[in-house]
Structure 1
Amino acid sequence: MSDDARFEDGIEAPLNIGAQDEDDLKIISALVQDAVFPANEMRFFAGEQRFAMLVNRFRWEDGGKRAPERVQSMLHFSDVSAVSSQGIDRSDKDMILSILSAEFEPGEAPSGHVILTLAGDGAIRLSVEALEVTLKDVTRPYVAPSKKTPSHD
């Protein structure tokens, strides 16, 4: 019998986790909160029904044990039939976006919508046939350029 993963398990090792239900997605949402990425680092592969984005996520799992760190991570969604967005100028190659949360709005089971809420009133809506998400760290952590932990009022 194996034990469930714990949040602390990611302190030293790169994350490679998945979500297949709303509770799982809440964990990924917490891990990608305050992740930043250029608008041109997200892609919808319509023929393959996938949506992927390369983000620089804050390492919340570190728990403040060292200088604030970020790590580049792939956030990948499978079974995506459509993507829409608001508040994003895709022609602005210098636009930096920041994820506030990821939520699932159920439709006719197992389908629904994943809503990625962005800072500054932006959002990305993914129509999914089923919830299947992965978050995988792809680089070593690095000291956050701001050297500060993100905060919210």
Structure 2
Amino acid sequence: MRKPLRLIASEPDEVEIISAALQDAVAQLGDLKWDRRARRFTLVVNRYRWEDGKRGPGWRVRSALDIGSVTSVKASRVKQDAPGAVVSILALVFETGEAPGGALRVDLSGGGRIRIEVECVDLLLADISEPWRAVGRPEHGGPDA
């Protein structure tokens, strides 16, 4: 059995680590939720396990990213009326604002973007299922692909 991933970010530079773990994760838009009252934004995704190395097609696992201290969420080029639409996460970027706050930008395939304003960096990424064999390994082109 593969060890589940559990990462916490509380500093802006730690967001890059979570971004790397989320690269090429896929999700249905209906699995991205903002709870205004609790001030939390949650993404439940099928994450590619990059940490397993470069051999074979690799593995995917169901994972949840919980973002706390959220003050607002804005989406652009995202079909909010299509909860079954599938997107791929390209990157998670922290844009510094008035310290310790700022915005987390979730870059999606197809040019979509979600901007999550936060009072501080408060992220938890955790695997929530057993892994399964991936159909294939994500490819990005370029000289190192």
Q: TM-score, normalised by structure 2?
A: 0.93
Aligned-pair distance for 1:73? Answer: 0.2
Aligned-pair distance for 1:66? Answer: 5.0
Of 110, 131, 134, the residue aligned with 1:141 is: 131
Q: CA deviation digits over 1:61-91, x for unaligned, max 9?
A: 0003454110000011000010011111121
Are 2:141 and 1:150 equivalent residues in the alignment?
no
Give the RMSD, CA atoms, in angstroms. 1.3
Partners of 2:44 and 2:57 lie apart in 1 by: 22
Partners of 2:116 and 2:126 lie apart in 1 by: 19
Residue in 2 that maps onto 1:103: 93
Partners of 1:52 and 1:94 lie apart in 2 by: 16
Partners of 1:48 and 1:87 lie apart in 2 by: 26
The letter of the residue matching 2:24 is D
Partners of 2:51 and 2:93 lie apart in 1 by: 20
Partners of 1:114 and 1:20 lie apart in 2 by: 12
Aligned-pair distance for 1:152? Answer: 1.1
Question: Residue 60 of structure 2 aligns to a residue in which SS?
Answer: strand
The letter of the residue matching 1:150 is P
Partners of 1:38 and 1:12 lie apart in 2 by: 25
Of 4, 9, 17, the residue aligned with 1:19 is: 9
1:3-152 alignment to 2 at 5 Å? 12-144=2-134, 147-152=135-140
Q: CA deviation digits over 1:77-123, x for unaligned, max 9?
A: 00001001111112113310110000101111001000000111000
Where does the alignment leave 5 or more consecutive residues of structure 2 unmatched? none
The letter of the residue matching 1:100 is L
Q: How many residues align?
A: 141
Partners of 2:57 and 2:93 lie apart in 1 by: 29
Partners of 1:49 and 1:58 lie apart in 2 by: 27
Q: Which moved further from structure 2: 134-143 or 66-75?
A: 66-75
Partners of 1:12 and 1:138 lie apart in 2 by: 12
Moved over 2 A (4+): 64-67
Aligned-pair distance for 1:14? Answer: 0.1
Q: Which moved further from structure 2: 58-67 or 42-51?
A: 58-67
Question: Residue 90 of structure 1 aligns to a residue in which SS?
Answer: coil
Partners of 1:45 and 1:93 lie apart in 2 by: 16
